[in-house]
Amino acid sequence: MSHPHPELGAPPKLPKGGLRVIPLGGLGEIGRNMTVFEFDGRLLIVDCGVLFPEEEQPGVDLILPDFTIIRDRLDDIEGIVLTHGHEDHIGAVPYLLRLKPDIPLIGSKLTLALIEAKLQEHRIRPYTLEVKEGDRENLGPFDCEFVAVNHSIPDALAVAIRTPAGMAVATGDFKMDQLPMDGRLTDLHAFARLSEEGIDLLLSDSTNAEVPGFVPPERDISNVLRNVFANAPKRIIVASFASHVHRIQQIIDAAHEYGRRVAFVGRSMVRNMGIARDLGYLRVPAGLVVDVKTLDDLPDDEVVLVCTGSQGEPMAALSRMANRDHQIRIVPGDTVILASSLIPGNENAVYRVINGLTRWGANVVHKGNAKVHVSGHASAGELLYFYNICKPKNLMPVHGEWRHLRANAELGAMTGIPKDHIVIAEDGVVVDLVDGRARITGKVQAGYVYVDGLSVGDVTETSLKDRRILGEEGIISVFVVVDSSTGKITAGPHIHARGSGIDDSAFDAVIPKIDQALNKSAQDGVVEPHQLQQLIRRSVGKWVSDTYRRRPMILPVVVEV
């Protein structure tokens, strides 16, 4: 199995007749999925998603793929194929279309409806091409065939990309639920047919590669939900992804059975469920869904609220309820259902929300104490089954952290794929399919691009480091006025601390040290303000470290007169 090395340089020119694969996100992480395919100077993009920030990225709203490698080649892009409508696959599309709004978007009916609603908020009217399973479209030199796959959102598609270099198949997110809610199975017959033709490179979902066996059917949750509904004395509040149509359908069915009304809470939840209902993907009995404003007129035991926040997102509805910062107040006897998995890295945030809800008297039902979630990704048993059907000549695990990618590679090897035909890459690592072999040939820039409010890319790793220091250690400001000609102090130092845990009066002990350092620098002829600031920062920093074993941010201000 090949894997990347830190010493990888820029890839060479793509050999004539070769297919280049450049993952810009989704490898080594869960989210930000984006892969660029290149043949004969033309580009095809599969998915363009976001990654949600973790605690060590304070103030960041979203994390995008790095578009640097394609920024100067926007006219070479034939289109963006979207495998399904989850945010980690479509969330970055508006930011790419800001660079060139007429790049075609290719996807299924529901996927395009979800991205079009998102683009409307960005005031972008996209050019779209709706496809369904079985369709085949020529996008420049890329002959794309779309295959039905089962996932935790309707209308998911895999894509087979035929080029003269060979056929690459990107599975997107998939599993093999044999009793899907919508009756739409992963089309193993189509994959077997592609296998007969010859799959030269398979890019396969790795998320559950470490999990043995098969994922239970989605419909297994229905009985658990009915049991919760039957025993809930007051309101039921369900937190789910705003795109998990199958899960929301089961909530609606249970609410209908137990005589409860349903209200959607949160802009994305209201928007997505409205789209799913209008397109026929969500079946809602007449009068069942009501506006959240009318809930006060209903008895508590006739109410179901469906909201966002299953991952502990600080601004989502459920987190705000836990923090008593929402119009809906949790009271003893309420039942809260977290109907989703834990995305790696979100565990602490989710448990913090669970504890907050429990504190206010809610009975919290989650994956840890009840079967209220099944995964949307194929487990090891399904992947083995899949590889034995597809028989790919080369395998490239995608969509997963490093442990998932390597576990997926091991599964491929167990089914007979030669280890030297299995490529474990990471974001930015270039893989070329030439003469039937996939090999790593170089690396391109594929770092994190942070969205903070309206700014895109302005926040850097240095900025985040400063934010972490401010959040964890606080700030100390030092104000000094010096004579511009002699460098001697004429006023100050005035020292103030915020968030450092050090009382301002304690700084009386360090003022003589600052005076001494500045007087010595004046004698040495050092009068440049930047040098004086560095001197103050070192003096105060050493004193704080020696005295308190802390490292706050120190902000010296030197004014010349």
Please enumerate, by residue number, every residue annotated as part of a binding site. Answer: 373-377
Cite the annotated binding site for substrate by residue number. Answer: 373-377
Q: Residue 401: count other Cβ atoms within 10 Å of its Cβ.
A: 17
Gyration radius (Cα) of the chain, Å: 28
Measured distance CA(396)–CA(381) in Å, rounded: 18
Token pair in block for residue 557: 């201000």
Written in H, E and C, the secondary structure of 165-183 is CEEEEECCCCECCCCCCCC
Which residue has tokens 């179901």? 304
Q: How many CA atoms lie within 13 A of 283 on its CB side?
A: 6
Nearest to 456 by CA among 128, 71, 111, 106: 71
Nearest to 112 by CA among 139, 95, 98, 132: 132
Token pair in block for residue 480: 């000094």
Measured distance CA(54)–CA(50) in Å, rounded: 13
Task: Confirm if 475 and 501 have CB atoms less than 8 A apart.
Answer: no
Q: Side chain identity at 116, as an amino acid letter?
A: E
- Ramachandran region, residue 298 (left: φ > 0; alpha: ψ -120 to 50; beta: rest): beta
- The pairing of strands 157-163 and 142-148 is antiparallel
The β-bridge partners of 130 are 107
Measured distance CA(32)–CA(553) in Å, rounded: 32
Task: For residue 132, give every residue at least 6 positions away whose Cβ sits within 8 Å of its Cβ, in sequence order, or none.
Answer: 108, 109, 146, 157
Q: How many CA atoms lie within 13 A of 447 on its CB side?
A: 8
Task: Confirm if 150 and 175 have CB atoms less than 8 A apart.
Answer: yes
Token pair in block for residue 545: 């470290």
Which residue has tokens 């209220």? 372
Task: For residue 397, give every residue at least 6 positions away whose Cβ sits within 8 Å of its Cβ, in sequence order, or none.
Answer: 203, 204, 206, 209, 404, 405, 406, 408, 409, 412, 422, 424
Q: Is 212 exposed, middle or buried (0-12, 13-18, 19+ CB in 10 A)?
A: exposed
Q: Taken in order 326, 327, 332, 335, is the CA torsion positive or negative? A: negative
Nearest to 252 by CA among 278, 287, 217: 287
H or E segment to which residue 540 belongs: helix 529-548
- The pairing of strands 449-452 and 105-107 is unpaired
The β-bridge partners of 479 are 494, 557
- The pairing of strands 136-139 and 128-130 is unpaired
Instruction: Report the Cα–Cα distance between both ends of the chain, in Å, rounded.
Output: 66
